[in-house]
Amino acid sequence: MNLHGTLKIAYYNLVASVLSRIGFRRTAKTCGILLFKPDAIGDFVLATGVIHLFCKEFGPENVTLLISRTTQLLAQVEFPKCQFLVVNPLKRNLYLESIMGWYSARRAIGRRRYRQLISLRHHRSFYDDILLASLKAESTVASKPDGNLNSVSFANARFRAKTTIPYPLEAHSAIWCKELEAHRQLAETVLSRPISREDIMPRFNTVCVVEGDYLLLSPLAGSAIRDCSGTQILSSLRAAQLPPAARVIVCGEISRSNALNSLAAMLRNAMGNVVEVVQPPDLISFLQWIAGARCVLAMESAAAHVATALDKPGVFILGGGHFGYFAPWQRSHRQRWLYNPLECFGCKWECRQPYVQCIADLPSDLIGKELKEIWNLSLPSLSNPV
């Protein structure tokens, strides 16, 4: 370990030692099951199936979800009978903002003790570790950090689950990622019975899926290094030969308005289709736009995971930084994940190439061909919400 890493661990141990000694009132009576999942949108979507399974097993009124404020509205709509502990979005360091987030969370959870704590957050940061170490439970179940995507190693973790499962080392197939397999194995451990993939398949029970007349385009990912360029998107759409009447909805966050509007202007000038920019005000509106699309073209992002969970026809562009961890996965043949396999896959987005070759070198003709096929697929009969 280099000097920076050594100092970071020392600093963490000092902060964690101080915070772990701070108490907030006397512990109350024991509650039911606590599911720890304070994650980003796409990661939360991947956990919806296993959360539904635990709610069915234990009764939703006996389940508390510890979630991030980022996914609060989505969780409360999808799991209305559960209880919630909401914390600030996770930070990747232990500076003032993270400590303040821990303080507000610790005040909320201070009086509670749970029969069982189940961590669905398999790749833990220092902030996660401090939160988990602050929770009180008679039984704890979690994945053992594998050292790849975790900021905190098992050796340095303050939180030690009484029951641990190894995180999957290899992707199980092109349609089943490591994260889903980790959820499946964890559910088998908790419930002490075989759990199938279908048992924990991500899904939404509160969203009505319809076949619309537009392509929902989500070209931006969680970080700029994973975005698709405007020229690559334009070339792909030309190759797809969408019908002239098909609308193109460019969808993304308000914080990236400039990039979205620039792309939409480029597409309008080069295509005959109607191109609109949509920036949903909240997560439910975001899901509704995806649920109403004819087809989705997206980077590996929240849009791709939501579309797959809804079993929407879609083409999704996957880079190599975390390949196999969170994607690819499928509900059916209607989802196509495209990637450009390189020796540098698994770089954790610390790209050492002259440019991001795993995304930029993916042929536009291939993207267009897959998009054309997916666009022409008919959706199954959807008389009930999915």
Low-confidence spans in the chain with pLDDT less than 70: 1-6, 8-9, 11-12, 16, 19-28, 90-98, 101, 110, 145-157, 171-172, 378-386
16 within domain boundaries? no
Tell me what pLDDT residue 297 has.
Answer: 98
pLDDT digits (tens, 9 = 90+) for 133-155: 888 899 999 988 666 665 555 55
Q: Coil, helix or strand for 215?
A: strand
| Count of structural domains, the chain | 2
Residue 381 within any structural domain of the chain: no
Q: Residue 135 and residue 114: Cα distance in Å, rounded?
A: 8
Given 200, 223, 248, the domain boundary residue is 200
In terms of domains, do 149 and 267 share one?
no
CA gap 65, 217 in Å, rounded: 31
Among candidate residues 158, 178, 200, the one where a domain is terminated: 200
Sheet holding 335-338, edge to edge: 275-278, 247-251, 214-218, 295-299, 314-317, 335-338
- Residue 275: CATH number of its domain: 3.40.50.2000
Yes or no: say if 197 and 46 are a contact pair by the CB < 8 Å rule: no
Instruction: State the pLDDT at residue 99.
Output: 72
- If asked whether residues 183 and 236 sit together in one domain, one would say no
| Confidence at residue 383, expressed as pLDDT on a 0 to 100 scale | 35
Q: What is the DSSP letter of 271?
A: -
Query: Is residue 384 situated within a structural domain?
Result: no
Asked if residue 165 and residue 132 are part of one domain, the reply reads yes
> How many angstroms separate the CA atoms of 257 and 261, rounded?
6
Residue 327 and residue 272 share a domain: yes
Q: Are residues 191 and 314 in the same domain?
A: no
Q: What are the angstrom distances between the C-alpha of 107 and each of 86, 112, 180?
A: 11, 10, 32
Asked whether residue 17 is assigned to any structural domain, the reply reads no
Do 225 and 187 reside in the same domain of the chain? no
State the residue range of the domain holding 155: 3-10+23-200
Per-residue pLDDT at 381: 42
pLDDT of residue 90: 62
Cβ atoms of residues 275 and 267 within 8 Å: yes
Regarding whether 95 and 233 lie in a shared domain, the answer is no
Identify whether residues 227 and 192 lie together within a single domain: no
CB atoms near residue 137 (< 10 Å): 21
Domain boundary among the residues 175, 200, 225 is at 200
Any domain includes 233: yes
Same domain, 346 and 324: yes
What residues have CB less than 8 Å from 173, skipping those under 6 apart?
A: none
35 with 182, same domain: the answer is yes
Do 48 and 173 belong together in one domain?
Answer: yes
Q: Are residues 290 and 163 in the same domain?
A: no
Q: Alpha-carbon distance 151 to 324, whole Å?
A: 19
Establish if 191 belongs to a structural domain: yes
pLDDT in tens, 307-319: 999 999 999 999 9
CB-based contact 178:171 (threshold 8 Å): yes
